[in-house]
Structure 1
């Protein structure tokens, strides 16, 4: 009850700031699509590697300050990192710590240095005199032999540290693929096949990381254990809903004991338990017995030797998006940073919310209320967040506020059945367009984009759609249902209007999952 009272009080305090103002500056940009793209760009800009590192890592003389704690710098700092955003994070961290850095090794995506150089993002590149070794690997976000060599090099570095050393660990999305160290006798290919099959079957990122962790030497706290008794400080750019430290990059600096029953339950849920390679079965069956598959229990002071600090997340990206929306005269409403579940259900929820916001009357609202509240928990949105969002949307509808910018983030899943090209953001955008087109067309614009600039194995980060997309597709002879059945959303958007609806920011150098933006114009007056 206290939470509800606090919410109501916040809404009442905030609401008058917007009433009567939104329509004034909303005309400053040409279209809703332009504004949606600008809001997405602001979300990505707010979680750039250099800015999040500067916020989370400060230096005062010979003291390094992180998360309210200070660490003495005595030319004793070593650095390792792995993830899509780690190159930019490492460049900024090295600028901060200066000559106190002894050595470093980072594992980053294949081709990222050349790509960042090509796009002029020189601030994300290391200087010519850097003490950090860069190793590229994991083509198409999949672990490979190059990434495994990087993991072995990182393990060798941290294993030689002593209690006098300070290890700075930089972690971001994509870290799991860039730190593959499978438990013997599992080969990299066997581990990769298991995770690929899980992903194709629709497993969540949490489930994928739980299985990966059980088959890995460095995940689940393994890296920090290798570094013990050195002091470990991890700066984390989260790419998982809720920012769970043990799941981001599979938790290499967070001790997590493998639970065999949980791993087997996931494999059985996706009908993979009986078709596993013999090496994987061997490792999983050994868990619980003294073996390489389960590291020894950590020392009693292990927790004191490790500090994990989340310095960037989807929530921060949405906050930055909201500020940009205000600049554009829009009324920002954050639904949730935790949207997940099947893209079909996620698209349906956005369709229902758009109709709720744009309905000119109250006759059908009670029915919409019920449908929204029933669907929300299936896609990771709490009932409290739904009620708060609907209240704000309802107030805007009844009191004549201007255009609304509904914001959300997370990572929906796609159950792959076809062999087409595309990703969850493009497929979600396409399905939301069908929702907006159904019945009375809703004059809204929807954008879904991956903050890393990549949506599946394509050059796009996502797409922008509206209620006119279905008609445009028919006029151009494109069968939407056929493309969806083949999970071929990228090909669809590439053909539609010469690809102008695609979101193509290029490699961003960061990754905090996806951002969803729904721009809702004011509803027409009730008759």
Structure 2
């Protein structure tokens, strides 16, 4: 019971910032941790499904405008969607197009409608007279029979369209799990087992989507191929580093020919080839047809009938975070929206950048710069981004600027060695805390890592906040950090530490553009 009460206090601590704090109160905030939470909240608010759809979809009479292109509406608009944020996207899209919508069908996570009601996010729910059918599935973000039924219904809807029809496709993070349509003879269970083992072995989201696409009827352009000759317009909320259209939700509207050698290379990399089911081997050796043809062989005419538009991304979230940082008197510096790789190496990079920014004197040691340039590329941060970031941090030192808000995003990975509760954001925050307190002199920085969907792994938290006092705080409370790390049990650690006050608990946000990292760096002390 005590644990539930402590988590409730953590939720209460978050909500004033999330709900929109009065500006006077915000200006009076002195805690760097409070400011980090406010910056994260602004990042998530900037990529809410209704706002990104409103910015991207305009109706002028009977003309629908997307990305500067106009589409004539003549009682011919149909809608499908799949993903964690799609319910809110669909609700806003229907508000915009009104009676022009003939029918719609969306595949969304299990229980999301009830959860959104519970959190008071009524703007993300469809009206009672909606023409869009909602099908829930993919419990625990894993493809299941409910999601497969949804995928089959979506396939039937789009396959019946003609050249007179316009299909609006809404895609967001989680779309892969919500659109499972395995290529026969692969079963859903077999496909699910392969992807689960890949994820447990540390495969990246790009690698997971490459394998999923090869085993699916609708991914890799399959959905658009089924809809041909109808015009397809896809609005995409990206949850993949770099916003590659062919990998977001495994690219259902992006024609791409399956390259079996790339899939085999991924499976070999994680030692899964020998243990694959015979059905999977059969499909990978000879990719099956999709809707009476291979989407990789689409004609130019087919491709001309598809418009893909990324309307929300991690980059946009970081831009919104930067604006909030300025409001709070912080100097925003964006490192990269593409941080990836093992959380241990990512934590090391943040520790080095903290040392660089907070070292006394005018010039940080050259050895420190060399270490940053070595570690950065290992976690997806290009050398020019590292040089640019260090230059900006250096300018702040020379010109005597105040606290800096270093921003980054992406999706690091965790090697599973235990059976505890937690996710990459909580584990990253824990490891960064150790880095900040592990040098000859403790860093004054505060670090936050949070998932923009509000859920970090199978936990109630989105992430956590840490600083150099983390280790001492844990020792005072009898908590063995290394034990929790070896068991991948970061959620239990943060729940017990100081009554869960360091946890990030926004609840379901209704969106998903990967993770946001916030590191607040006070000016160096002489």
Shared fold, TM over 0.5:
yes
How far residue 321 of structure 1 moved from its aligned partner, in angstroms, is 0.2
On the 8 A contact 1:217/1:293 being kept in 2, the answer is: no
Cα distance in structure 1, aligned partners of 2:100 and 2:194? 41
C-alpha distance after superposition, 1:59-102 (max 9, x if no partner)? 10000000110000111100000000000000000001110100
Say which SS state the counterpart of residue 302 (structure 1) adopts.
helix
Deviation at 1:473, TM superposition (A): 0.4
Match of 2:312 in 1: 312
Q: CA deviation at 1:353?
A: 0.2
Larger mean Cα displacement after TM superposition, 392-401 or 462-471: 392-401
Segments of structure 1 that go 5 or more residues without pairing to the other structure are 1-24
Cα deviation digits, residues 397-422 of structure 1 (max 9, x gap): 22211000000000001111111110
Deviation for aligned residue 1:26: 9.2
After superposition, the C-alpha distances for 1:156-175 in whole angstroms (9 at most, x for unaligned) are 10000000000000000000
What's 1:7 paired with? none
Match of residue 124 from structure 1: 124
Cα pair 1:26 1:329 within 8 Å, conserved: no
Going from structure 1 to structure 2, the CA distance change for 1:330 and 1:290 (only over 3 Å counts) comes to closer
Contact residue 88 and residue 123 of structure 2 kept, 8 A: yes
Equivalence map 1:78-477=2 (5 Å): 78-287=78-287, 294-295=294-295, 297-361=297-361, 364-439=364-439, 440-477=441-478
Paired with 1:137 and 1:116, the residues of 2 have a C-alpha distance of 15
Paired with 1:71 and 1:290, the residues of 2 have a C-alpha distance of 27
Supply the distance in 2 between the matched residues of 1:295 and 1:94 (Cα, whole angstroms).
29
Secondary structure of 2:335's match? strand
Q: Alpha-carbon deviations, 1:9-48, whole Å to 9, x = none?
A: xxxxxxxxxxxxxxxx997213000000000000000000
Instruction: Pick closer, same or farther for the CA change 1:375–1:293 going to 2, 3 Å.
Output: farther
Judged with a 3 Å threshold, the aligned counterparts in structure 2 of structure 1 residues 184 and 293 are, in CA distance, closer, same or farther, namely farther
> Any idea what the Cα deviations from partners look like across 1:407-439, whole Å, max 9, x if unmatched?
000000111111111000000000000000012
Q: TM-score under structure 1 normalisation? A: 0.93
The DSSP-based 3-state class of the residue aligned with 1:178 is coil
1:296-333 per-position Cα deviation (integer Å, ceiling 9, x unaligned): 72133011100000000000000000000000000000
Deviations 1:484-505 (A, max 9, x none): 1111101111111111111000
Q: Distance in 2 between matches of 1:270 and 1:45?
A: 37
Contact kept? 1:429, 1:464, Cα under 8 Å: yes
Deviations 1:227-264, CA, capped at 9 Å, x for gaps: 00000000000000100000000000000100010000
Matched, 1:64 2:64: yes
- What is the aligned partner in structure 1 of residue 522 from structure 2? 521
Number of equivalences: 502
Q: Is the 8 A contact 1:85 1:173 kept in 2?
A: yes
SS in 2 for 1:463: strand
What SS does the corresponding residue of 1:133 show, helix, strand or coil? strand
Q: Is the 8 A contact 1:52 1:311 kept in 2?
A: yes
Distance 1:49 1:393 in 2: 34
Q: Tell me, in whole angstroms, the C-alpha distance in 2 between the residues paired with 1:454 and 1:334.
A: 23
Alpha-carbon shift at residue 277 of structure 1 (Å): 1.1
1:365 deviates by: 2.0
Q: Distance in 2 between matches of 1:295 and 1:312?
A: 26
Q: Distance in 1 between matches of 2:293 and 2:90?
A: 31
Is the Cα contact below 8 Å between 1:26 and 1:330 reproduced in 2? no
Whether the 8 Å CA contact 1:163–1:231 is kept in 2: the answer is yes
Please state whether the residue corresponding to 2:71 is helix, strand or coil.
strand
**Aligned twin of 2:481:** 480
Deviation of 1:294 after TM superposition, in Å, equals 4.7
CA distance in 1, matches of 2:102, 2:523: 58
Counterparts of 1:320 and 1:272, CA distance in 2: 41
CA distance in 2, matches of 1:412, 1:468: 24
Rounded to whole Å, the distance in 2 between the matches of 1:290 and 1:413 is: 32
CA distance in 1, matches of 2:371, 2:46: 34
> By how many angstroms is 1:292 displaced?
8.0
Aligned to 2:21: none
What's the CA shift for 1:364? 4.9
Distance in 1 (alpha carbons) for counterparts of 2:288 and 2:93: 39
- Structure 2: give runs of 5+ residues left out of the alignment: 1-24
Tell me the C-alpha RMSD between the 2 structures: 1.6
The separation in 2 between residues aligned to 1:459 and 1:421, in whole angstroms, is 10
Does structure 2 retain, via aligned residues, the 8 Å contact 1:287–1:293?
Answer: no
CA separation in 2, counterparts of 1:296 and 1:338?
28
Runs of 4+ off more than 6 Å: 288-293
Tell me if the contact between 2:81 and 2:105 (Cα under 8 Å) persists in the aligned partners. Answer: yes
In the alignment, does 2:476 pair up with 1:490? no
Q: Equivalents in 2 of 1:406, 1:413: separation in Å?
A: 21
Q: Is the 8 A contact 2:403 2:521 kept in 1?
A: yes
